[in-house]
Each structure stands twice: as C-alpha cells, then as structure tokens.
Chains A and B, each alone.
Chain A
C-alpha cells in the first residue's frame, strides 16, 4: 500500500451500489408498474369486490344481468330447502323478492335455512338462478349452543 498512514479509525464507506442513474430507472419502473396495477385493479377488479353481491330485487330488476356471471345474496327461506343428491334447491329472499336457486355441488360451509347465503352463478331466462359457488354469510352474533341471544348485564348503558 502507499506510504501514507491512514488516520486510525476513519470509517471506510461501503462499496458503491447501483449508480444514481440506474437507481432512478429502477424507481421509475417500480412507480409505473404500481400505478398501472392500481389503475387495472380500480377499473376491473374492484367493481366485483365493492359490489360483492346483488340482492334478489336488484338481480331480478335488471334484465341486462340475465345470463351473466353474477353473485346474489339473501336469506335462505326456511322451508324451501330441498336436497336431491348433489343438487340442492332453495329460495333466496331479501324480504321483497324471492329467487329460486338451484345449486349443484358440495356444501362446504354452515349452510342452513334461516341463514344468509351468497350464490355465484347465472340467472336463467326462466327466472331460476343457476349457482356454481355457494358461500354462507353469518352475522355478527356469537352465542353458545343454547342459542339464547346475549343480554348484556344491566350496568349503565352497556359498553362497546
């Protein structure tokens, strides 16, 4: 090495990383890709997320939706559930409109009359909904098997 004695304790800077120009290029690419991804999501994907399902009234009231892949949600009307092997028929209601549903396939959730369900499929011209995916929506109540609704203790106004 050279004859000069480096001052003891001078920190050696770490090896230089990518050049400033290289880093700027990388940053520009990342920003462009991110903006493009967000735009794509906003235009296409988000609509199916933000209107996650239609109600039976909305579905039946929009003739343009006949035959289109759509999700509908409502209450599974008690007394309307009929199982025949892999096929289950039931009526979905939102209180105003009743929608007959035919679903073929395994039921993986806690599906039962009196609970909410979401069905993905198509509305046939005859007015029946042909379902290919079935999801159960449960409410925000949590109670034990005795099924009694929770009554908070009568202290003050009842907390959050």
Chain B
C-alpha cells in the first residue's frame, strides 16, 4: 500500500505542477491580450480592461460554489470528511474570489459609473453571496466535533447556493445600475469586439487554472491536517511489558 500511495501522490503532484505552469502561462497571455492587444473601450476607456479579471473572478466563484454544493451533498450522503474538505477548500476559494470581484468592480465603477459603490441589485446580491459563504466558513468553528461542523456547513453549502442564480439574474429581474450580461445573455450574439472577447476567455482560463491549482494544494494541506488530528498518538515510550513492583511507571 505505501508503494501504491507513493505513485498516486507522485501523479497528483505532477498534475498540480502542470496546473500551476498552465496557470502561469495563461496569466502571462492574459496580461498581453488584456493590456496590450485588446483596444480600450469606445465608451469606458482604459478602465474597461478590469473586466478581463472582474468577470472571470465572478464566474470562477460561481464554479467554486457549485463545487461546494456538490461536495456538501456528497458529505451529507456519505458522511465522509474527505467531501467536507473538498467543500471547504472550494468555499475558501469562492469567498476570496467574490471579495475580489467586489473590489475590482468598485475600482471599475469609480471612473465609469462615477461611484465606488451603489446599492443596486447586482452589487447587493453579490455582497450577500459573500456573507453567505463567510457564514459557511464561520459555522465550521462552532463545535468541537468535526462531523457536527461539517453537517452544519454542508446545509449552508446546499441552501446558500440559491444566491448564485440570484446574483446572475439580478440585472435581468430588477432595474439596476449594472448593465445586463454581455456573454451569458438570453439571446443573440455577444456584442463584444473579438480581441476583447479573446482577452475575457483567456482570463476565464487563467482564473480557472489558478483556482484549480490552489484548490488541489489546499486539499493536500487539509488532508494532512486531518490525518494528524485523527491519527492515534504515538506512545511517548514503549508500553512496559511488565509493571514494576509498586505499579507506577
């Protein structure tokens, strides 16, 4: 078994390394396409280039929370803490990306909309999304029992996912300052110039690879930590075969 585990570990490490290299290449490609090759927007100017990171962080956050949903259901079904670790790693990444989405949106909003913040449905629902998954991570600390924490988190991981479609459809269901979707739209071709669409897609690839790389590395960390916590402690000294006279070691 140790030999097999070693080969599996080596293969997993190779996959992680490949993802890391791929992510690095994609980021370089994104910088070139996004900062140089794509033109500035006719209406928004140079600030529009933030879109090449802002939109991918939002989409990969959705993907992360979908992962949380699947892993949470799997945990509730099998009560296997490995699924809980997968859900947790995905939630950590999704939460970070959602915060980044809001920050980049704010930076983009100031020169284009004219304001750093607006209580419009898209911005508010995204902030709610962030709070939901911060809550997901928070409930994990309430109990001493990892299964209790995992169960509570999994319930939030399942119910909280409803916020993801609410965020996406907020600009279609309600009046908002934020514009409706350009790519994920109900009908017709996306009204976006080709070099800009290319930059956006490279951004999606880069963020996805980065997130996958971080996810797998985090899983290794969580797995090692769980192994330490659940392993039987090694005796400080070999158990005596005979108890000496008096009975005290």
Contacts and interface: CB of A to CB of B under 8 A. Distances in A.
Given A48-B119, A138-B179, A149-B191, A109 B248 contact: no
B194 A52 contact: no
Interface in A1-43: 1, 3-5, 8-12, 14, 16-17, 23, 26-27
Contacts of B143: 17, 23
B247 interface: yes
Interface string A39-58: 00000010011111100000
B247 A3 contact: yes
Contacts of A89: none
Interface residues of B, number: 55
Interface in B99-130: 110-115, 118-121, 124
B41 interface: yes
B159 interface: no
Contact of B120 (A4, A52, A115): A52
Interface SS of A by simple majority: loop
- A-B pairs, 6 with minimum CB distance: A109-B114, A144-B39, A3-B247, A158-B189, A108-B114, A152-B189
A158 B175 contact: no
A14 B233 CA distance: 13
Interface in B148-183: 174-177, 179-183
B42 A145 contact: yes
Contact of A49 (B114, B119, B144, B196): B119
Contacts of A150: 189-194
A9 B192 CA distance: 64
B43 A138 contact: yes
A46 to B, nearest CB: 8
Interface of A: 1, 3-5, 8-12, 14, 16-17, 23, 26-27, 45, 48-53, 73, 107-111, 115, 118, 133-147, 149-150, 152, 158-160
B42 A143 contact: yes
A147 B42 contact: yes
Contacts of B184: 160
A149 B190 CA distance: 11
A52 B121 CA distance: 8
Contacts of A136: 112-114
B240 A5 contact: yes
A36 B113 CA distance: 33
Contact of B113 (A4, A137, A144): A137
Interface stretch (B5-13, B44-52, B74-82): B44-52
B233 A11 contact: yes
Tell which of B42, B183, B194, B248 has the most Cβ of chain A within 10 Å.
B42
B185 interface: yes
B249 interface: yes
Interface string B207-246: 0000000000000000000000000111100011001001
